[in-house]
Homo-oligomer: A and B are copies of this chain.
Amino acid sequence: MDDSSTRPRSSRSTGSARLTDVARVAGVAPMTVSRALNRPELVSETTRLRVQRAVLETGYVPNRVAGALASSRSRLVALLVPTVAHSLFAEVVQTVMGVLAPQGYQVLLGLTGYTPEQEETILETVLSRRPDGIVLTGCRHSTLTRQRLQSASVPLVEIWDMSDDPLDMLVGFSHDAVGRAVAEHLLARGYRRFGLISADDSRARFRVAGFVAGLEDAGEGEYQLREVGTPSSMPWGRDKGAELLDGHSLDAIVCSSDILALGVLAEAQSRGLSVPGQLAIMGFGDSSYAAASFPALSTVRIDGAAIGLRAAEHLLQRMAQPTFERAARTLDVGFEIVDRDTT
């Protein structure tokens, strides 16, 4: 037995088994081990088994850092969302990962808060990992962010919004349309004096703007607006709901999330207001608890799972085909007004 192939470990080595070690134990060339592990169909049955045995014997764990450098494929997808503390985004994360993991992709998570500045910073460090794909929440990015994404030429899906000029692919819905639809719906039901409780993020504001535009188009209705801080929570909803109810005579309160609506509902119940008789309440998101609250919350259903699913699928497709066309592909998953018992 000669071990001329075993270079003595340099001081920089990590000490654990390398591909070379497996190769020596299996009695084959390192390249063959690489193939046996990554493209087993190119290797004969017998060598594959010998390699597998050698892997077990040496306790070898592949080093994908080195693999990524050598092959220019990181098998990493970056997923950037404002937060995971909101069930809708949690659902997206859950679904995207559910689709990508079985395909051998790992997810680098980035939380951008709700500010373009954070998005910019996070994107920079994310790009330094050379991800094979990126899922990015929202369509409004800083100039630098857009530039970086352009020149990086990474398959990209923007989600959770609509835009006329997406950077690459886009899966989302129109926040403006949501606002208008809610206004139309509530006006049709006879409500006229509205309270609006909105989170201070840009997409919630777009829904508010859509709502207001809807009122204006109809030439009816008046509104009072309150913004809440991040993150939205039931206490916020209860607080701002109380504030609105104290100062104004209202028919309905429209909230930028279900959790805020639940807070308003609790406030209404504690005041002995009948819902929707004396006060109608509308949420957003159709979180799991919306259907089961009492009375059941009327809301706008956004299919976060569908967004995550389609986004991940589009990304997989684009990553699979080496010819990376910038031809934008846009998908509007829409939304649905769910008319339960609070309106």
Q: Are A64 and B94 in contact (CB under 8 A)?
A: no
Task: Count this chain's copies in the assembly.
Answer: 2
Chain B residue contacts of A213, Cβ below 8 A: none
Of the 9-residue stretches A25-33, A232-240, A276-284, which lies at the interface with chain B?
A: A232-240
A130 to B62, CA, bound (A): 9
Chain B residue contacts of A152, Cβ below 8 A: 16, 61
Chain B residue contacts of A68, Cβ below 8 A: 65
CB of A269 within 8 Å of the partner chain: yes
A16 to B106, CA, bound (A): 24
CB of A266 within 8 Å of the partner chain: yes
Q: Are B83 and A94 in contact (CB under 8 A)?
A: yes
Chain A, 77-111, CB within 8 A of any chain B CB: 79, 83-85, 87, 90-91, 93-94, 97-98, 101, 104, 106-111
CB of A69 within 8 Å of the partner chain: yes
Interface range for A: 35 or more
Q: Are B64 and A128 in contact (CB under 8 A)?
A: yes
Which of A83, A127, A289, A292 lies at the interface centre, i.e. has the most chain B CB atoms within 10 A of its CB? Answer: A292
Q: Are B72 and A69 in contact (CB under 8 A)?
A: no
Q: Which residue of B lies closest to A79 (CB)?
A: B109
Chain B residue contacts of A110, Cβ below 8 A: 106
Q: Which residue of B lies closest to A91 (CB)?
A: B85
Chain B residue contacts of A59, Cβ below 8 A: 151
**Distance (Å) between the CB of A91 and the closest chain B CB?**
6
- Which of B65, B125, B234 has a CB less than 8 Å from the CB of A292? B234
**Distance (Å) between the CB of A276 and the closest chain B CB?**
16
**Distance (Å) between the CB of A208 and the closest chain B CB?**
22
CB of A148 within 8 Å of the partner chain: yes
Q: Which residue of B lies closest to A291 (CB)?
A: B235
Do A65 and B129 contact each other (CB < 8 Å), given the known contacts A72-B12, A97-B111?
yes
Q: Could you jot down 17 A-B contacts, CB within 8 Å?
A: A14-B130, A59-B151, A61-B148, A62-B128, A63-B130, A69-B69, A83-B94, A84-B84, A97-B109, A97-B111, A106-B125, A107-B109, A233-B288, A238-B292, A266-B292, A269-B294, A289-B289
What 10 pairs between A and B have smallest CB-CB spacing?
A: A234-B292, A266-B294, A233-B288, A269-B294, A109-B109, A64-B128, A234-B289, A84-B90, A84-B84, A62-B128
